[in-house]
Structure 1
Amino acid sequence: MRLKSYEELFERINTRTDIEENILQTLDHFPKDINQILEILRDKYNDGKIIMEKDENGIVTSYPNEVDKLNNFTIRRKTKYIPILEHKHEYIEIVYVLQGSFIQKIKGRQIQMNKGDLCILDRNVLHSSLPLSESDVVVNITLTPKFFDGIFMYLLSDDNYISNFVINSLYSKSKSQNFLKHHIKEGTMIQKILENLLLEYYSIEHRSSAAINGYFLILFTELSREITDRTGEDIKDEQNKVREKILTYIRDRYKDINLNEMAEYFNFHPSYLSSLIKKEFGKNLKELLIELRMTEASKLLKNTDMTIENIVSEVGYTNSSHFYNIFKKTYGLTPNQYKTRVIKKDS
């Protein structure tokens, strides 16, 4: 049966788990060593739900498991009574406090999380948390990179804080890790969206993936609007930097360029990069390349004695007929006519 109220949701989500029962029974002698805790989580409690590995520096990284990869997202209530030691993720994590409060440490900074607080954690950002008490209820939402493909490209093409956060986390080569904390006020649209998202997710027998994706899309859209209002100028500055980098790349490589290679260079998804170029320049990549190549061809016709055949090759074309057709469409003249008129005008 589908959950219909917050009370039903809270009763289901806050039921003490077998893991927590076991922790309470062994709390006095629960191990503090990270290796022992990892073994317990893997073998006794985890049941293969979470993939965790420790690197050569002793840092634990959590990876999406097969279920995460299949669904592209997972929602779990945060386990109570034990500290979560410092670790990082290969996915974006959202932490949302339904009741009570707790303290998490992010990049060495202690953050107090109270009821209604939401925190979005970048990939690979180091974080830990102190134990939750009996009355604290916190959910973790994990989102894989693939989650943001498809319909969420519409979100990522917007000029706002959330889209830039996701872009930098999942698609940028930048190694800086960030987090975003935001308070969700009671009774607001965002609070209702989160409530409905959780109701849908925990209505396990009647769960609708389409509905969940819809709630996520609306959630990120509304968060973007609310947060962007207070950070608009910073976003514009960052977006202008991205725009200039893309334009410089295209100008430097217009002779031999394709979308997939360019996307790999910027570590962007090709679909996102295509949308971003169209949004920023009002033209797609093909149109931008034609514009740059025709501009360069006209300069070479005006200022050099290069043959048209050499110019064709110089601006990145391999087919002379194709070049002639595009040039005439652009300037209304053939390359020979264009050069003749320029010479006559100058003399």
Structure 2
Amino acid sequence: MNKQQIRDYLLSYTDTERSALSQKSDPFNIETNEELSYNKTLDHAISKNEKMRDFLNDSQLLIVKHARFSSLPPHSHDYIEMCYVYSGKIDMVINSEKISLNQGDFCLLDTGVIHQILDTAEKDILINILIKREYFSTKMVSKIAHNSTLSKFAIDALSEDQKHNQFIVFETVNHEFIEDAIFGILTHYLEPSIFSKEVIDTYMMIIFSELLRSFHEKKVQYYQSHNQLYIGDILTYIEQRQGNCTLSDLARVFNFNSNYLSRFIKKNVGKSFIDLIQEIRLNQATTLLRTTDLSIEAIIQQSGYKNINFFYKKFYAVFHESPKDYRKRLQQLGDSL
């Protein structure tokens, strides 16, 4: 399917939308003021929807278009829901708080949170990506955070915000890029072919990475507007220099006392400045081991280590194998796929 065919699909009326337009009964046949559980809400849809049955049984990802010209009563469910506004405006009530989402916005809903979607009109197109929790952690979070201290920190901060609020709204800064990724997912989801699953996984990682970037930039703007130091700025500075900086360098750049900065890093990251530098350098080393044919000696040098024995000691302490065995194991794993 090309982009125009995807657009036509999203704009076309579903049976549920035709029913709503003809003023028939509620598509779920439920009183709108009833607080509903996950299974209650979907009982009527599941029996007629093979993809929904597959998702509940063993699939990890389901994509559905929300039915326009109707509302969805308060409900909760046991999967993570990622809502994307393709066009128009979507009004939701989440934990009794009214939220308005505009075109390009995402809303990430945790499991168990009570939410409802208010009346929608012709141009209000909402795409719901339903995600099993195990998919969210193994396919997306773990891979994105694999080699970046900043990504790990952003994901932890995101998790804390979601744990506190049970939902997060992302006002995306690169709407066209996100839209292209959504088109890519829908193309392979609606007309699956060989490797479609892998392509969808990749697009999902791209989307989540963009949402993380949006979340990080929003945090940066907030702290800057309040004239406060943001730990994300420090992590960005260190990672951009691949760990080749000192605490004195940081203190000078950010105009803070070295002792204060050391305590600030420990409080916000949970590790000392020295341990943080070692983590970033080891991340750089593992990236080079996986993606290049450079000699281990060259990798050690590019990762900022001057003492070879010290590098081997640190590497083994973290990965429980030598750099050579690490590279060999990953090469064998790649050959077996």
Q: TM-score, structure 1 length as denominator? A: 0.55
- 1:138 counterpart residue number: 126
Q: Distance in 2 between matches of 1:165 and 1:36?
A: 30
Q: Cα offset for 1:76?
A: 0.4
**CA–CA separation in structure 1 for the residues paired with 2:143 and 2:8:** 35
Q: Structure 1 residues 93, 28: closer, same or farther in 2, change over 3 A?
A: closer
2:96 & 2:109 partners in 1: Cα distance?
Answer: 14
1:193 aligns with 2:185: no
Change (3 A) 1:214 1:41: closer
* Aligned: 1:216 with 2:204: yes
Total equivalences in the alignment: 231
Which residue pairs with 2:156 in the alignment? Answer: 164
- Counterpart in the other structure of 1:47: 47
Residue-by-residue CA offset, 1:120-148 (whole Å, 9 max, x unaligned): 11222221110211221110011112213
- Whether contact under 8 Å (1:96, 1:117) holds in the other structure is yes
Alpha carbons of 1:196 and 1:189: their partners in 2 closer, same or farther (altered >3 Å)? Answer: same
The 3 A distance-change label for structure 1 pair 70 and 187 is same
Question: Contact 1:80–1:133 at 8 Å: present in 2 too?
Answer: yes
Query: Judging changes above 3 Å, is the alpha-carbon distance between structure 1 residues 186 and 204 closer, same or farther for their aligned structure 2 residues?
Result: same
- What is residue 18 of structure 1 aligned with on the other side? 15
CA contact (8 A) 2:170 2:214 kept: no
One-letter identity of the residue aligned with 1:164: D
Q: Which residue is 2:318 aligned to?
A: 284
Query: 8 Å contact 1:125–1:177 — kept in the other structure?
Result: no
Q: Distance in 2 between matches of 1:107 and 1:239?
A: 34
Partner of 1:183: 171
Amino acid at match of 1:132: T
Higher gyration radius (CA): 1
Corresponding residue number in structure 2 for 1:253: none
Structure 1 runs of 4+ aligned residues shifted over 6 Å read 35-40, 234-239
Distance in 1, matches of 2:72 and 2:231, equals: 33
| Matches of 2:213 and 2:21, distance apart in 1 | 42
- Which among 104, 112, 116 is matched to residue 124 of structure 1? 112
- Aligned CA distance change for structure 1 residues 187 and 105 (closer, same or farther; 3 Å): closer
Superposed displacement of residue 168, structure 1: 5.1
- The equivalent of 1:113 in structure 2 is 101
Distance 2:68 2:167 in 1: 23
Q: How many Å apart are 1:98 and its aligned residue?
A: 0.8
1:145-194 CA-to-partner distances (Å, cap 9, x unmatched) read 22135453122444347622675599xxx6x4422212235664333223
What are the residue-to-residue correspondences of 1:1-347 with 2, within 5 Å? 3-5=1-3, 7-27=4-24, 31-32=31-32, 34=34, 41-43=42-44, 45-47=45-47, 49=49, 66-68=54-56, 70-152=58-140, 153-157=142-146, 158=148, 159-160=150-151, 163-164=155-156, 167=159, 176-185=164-173, 188-204=176-192, 208-231=196-219, 233=230, 240=267, 243=270, 283-284=317-318
Write the deviation string for residues 209-252 of structure 1: whole angstroms up to 9, x where unpaired: 010011111222232223213326376889956747xxxxxxxx
CA deviation map 1:3-27 (0-9, x unaligned):
122x210112332222222333344
- SS of 1:163's equivalent in the other structure is helix
Q: Is the 8 A contact 1:156 1:164 kept in 2?
A: no
Q: Deviations over 1:10-60 (max 9, x none)?
A: 1123322222223333447874353899878523x4426499xxxxxxxxx
Q: Relative to structure 1, is the Cα distance of residues 231 and 184 closer, same or farther in structure 2, using a 3 angstrom cutoff?
A: closer
Aligned equivalents of 2:133, 2:265: Cα separation in 1: 21
CA contact (8 A) 1:193 1:219 kept: yes
Asked if the contact 1:122/1:177 (under 8 Å) is kept, the reply is no
Q: Which has the higher contact order (CA 8 A, sep 6+)?
A: 1
Gaps spanning 5+ residues in structure 2: where? 221-229, 236-263, 272-313, 322-337
Q: Secondary structure at 1:195's aligned position in 2?
A: helix
Contact 2:34 2:74 in 1 (8 A): no
Cα gap change, 1:162/1:126 in structure 2, threshold over 3 Å: closer, same or farther? farther
* C-alpha distance in structure 2 between counterparts of 1:241 and 1:285, whole Å: 25
Q: Is the 8 A contact 2:171 2:214 kept in 1?
A: no
